[in-house]
Amino acid sequence: MKKVCVIANAGKNKAEEIAEQVSSFFCQRGIESSIFFEDFSEQVSYCRELTEGAECAVVLGGDGTLIRAAGRLAAQKIPVIGINIGNLGFLTGAEYGAAEPALEALVSGDYRIEERMMLEVSVGDRVFDTALNDAVITRSGFSRIIGVSIFVNGKPVCTYRGDGVIIATPTGSTGYNLSAGGPVVVPTTELILITPICPHSLSARGILVSGEDEVRLVVQEGKKTQDEEAFVTVDGQNAKKLAAEDQVVIRRSKEKAYFIQLNDHSFFDVLHKKLGGKE
């Protein structure tokens, strides 16, 4: 390994200090490293000079920081590993307290690279964004519910009435989807999760479809329609207003994200620990 990019969430406590420690770790082993401080208050792109030639990126933050970094680096096929200095850290490869053994394993090559599917999100006939985590349609008004009709491969499936709908990747299954009562899915599978948010029905249930399927969502006109019935938000970052009858089409993206997983690190171990299992 010759070059590593360190990406740190500037909003996290001691992010600068930790980033310098990680960079120093690599420098002591003759590995070039560059540091980028992520500021979530700005829409910025990583400088190519920092990432060009990097064999991997070490991301300091929580799941949100890791998702953002992995999505942005997908086109360059740069794999990422997360060191959790945030809260839950479902997707990160190690906790900060165990960072040094994780980095030693990285340097020694004791890891594997996992490919993760992403979703292409189109509004109307234009591609809007690419999601690694999820695309979420939510209501825009106060104390109102919205109707969202679901079509899979052009066939009508159901209409959810409530606060909205989450369309998640397997990687995103432990995010908003989990909070909304959706299933947890092994992140390397190729599925699309459709989960209603606070549905106004006792019979409403989530749906899993193949990664080969195309999901189309149509915002229904409300009883008191307005210019903006809803919003579509991609990975909690990029949002667009939707009017009644607007359509959002979601299909598997041609791009993939790349995650580094240490060989002693199992998704099921993390699942057991994070969801309340005993050590």
Q: Kindly state the tokens that stand for 248.
A: 């959002």
pLDDT top residue among 238 and 155: 155
* Segment 200-256, tens digit of pLDDT: 988 899 999 999 999 999 999 876 656 567 999 999 988 999 998 999 999 999 999
Which residue from 69, 91, 239 is spatially nearest to 170, judged by alpha carbons? 91
Confidence of residue 143 (pLDDT cuts 50, 70, 90): low
Give the model's pLDDT for residue 88. 66
Give the model's pLDDT for residue 271. 77
Give the model's pLDDT for residue 25. 94
Of 4-18, 109-123, 155-169, 257-271, the poorest mean pLDDT is in 257-271
Give the model's pLDDT for residue 165. 97
| Most trustworthy range by pLDDT among 89-98, 146-155, 226-235 | 146-155
pLDDT top residue among 43 and 260: 260
User: Is the pLDDT assigned to residue 257 strictly greater than 70?
Assistant: yes
**pTM for the model:** 0.89
Give the model's pLDDT for residue 223. 65
Q: CA dist 238 to 2, 36, 67, 122, Å?
A: 34, 21, 13, 13
Angle, in degrees to the nearest 10, between helices 15-27 and 99-108: 30
Catalytic residue of the set 39, 63, 129, 246: 63
Give the model's pLDDT for residue 77. 92
Confidence of residue 50 (pLDDT cuts 50, 70, 90): low
Burial class (CB in 10 A: 0-12, 13-18, 19+), 73: buried
Which residue from 160, 161, 128, 133 is spatially nearest to 241, judged by alpha carbons? 128
Give the 3-state DSSP-derived string for the chain, with helices as H, strands as E and coil as C.
Answer: CCEEEEEEECCCCCHHHHHHHHHHHHHCCCCEEEEEEECCCCCCCCCHHHHCCCCEEEEEECHHHHHHHHHHHHHHCCCEEEEECCCCCCCCCEEHHHHHHHHHHHHHCCEEEEEEEEEEEEECCEEEEEECCEEEEEECCCCCCEEEEEEECCEEEEEEEECEEEEECCHHHHCHHHHCCCCCCCCCCCEEEEEEECCCCCCCCCEEEECCCCEEEEECCCCCCCCCCEEEEECCCEEEEECCCCEEEEEEEEEEEEEEEECCCCHHHHHHHHCCCCC
Q: Kindly state the tokens that stand for 112.
A: 């594997």
Residue 190 CA from chain centroid, whole number: 15
% residues pLDDT > 70 (the chain): 90
How many Å apart are CA 2 and CA 76, to the nearest integer?
A: 17
- 63 catalytically annotated: yes
% residues pLDDT > 90 (the chain): 59
Give the model's pLDDT for residue 96. 83
Give the model's pLDDT for residue 45. 54
Give the model's pLDDT for residue 279. 46
Sign of CA dihedral 265, 271, 272, 275: positive
How many Å apart are CA 85 and CA 78, to the nearest integer?
A: 21
